[in-house]
Amino acid sequence: KSVLLASIHAIEGIIWLSFISLSLDRIKAFITRPKTRKIIEGISGTVLIGFGVKLGTEQL
């Protein structure tokens, strides 16, 4: 019984990782576009600046 459950779990893991791998391959073309990269970098920069401002204005 335990071997059956372990086998099912392993098969689910293989299917899940295969799905993620195929999905990321398709998303790669979208993410590597210059316009998309610029937007992602802008959002990341804004978030980091926001964290810096919050940290700088926080009282000890």
The percent of residues in the chain predicted with pLDDT above 90, rounded, is 87
The percent of residues in the chain predicted with pLDDT above 70, rounded, is 100
Band of pLDDT at residue 21, cut at 50, 70 and 90: very high
Could you tell me the two tokens for 56? 């700088």
Contact yes or no for 40/31 (Cβ under 8 A): yes
Average pLDDT over residues 13-28: 93
DSSP class per residue in 12-24 = HHHHHHHHHHHHH
Could you tell me the two tokens for 20? 């993620």
First-last CA distance in the chain: 57
Query: What was the pLDDT predicted at 17?
Result: 96
What pTM was estimated for this model as a whole? 0.56
Which tens digit of pLDDT belongs to each residue from 24-45?
988 998 899 999 999 999 999 9
Q: Which residue's structure tokens are 């700088």?
A: 56
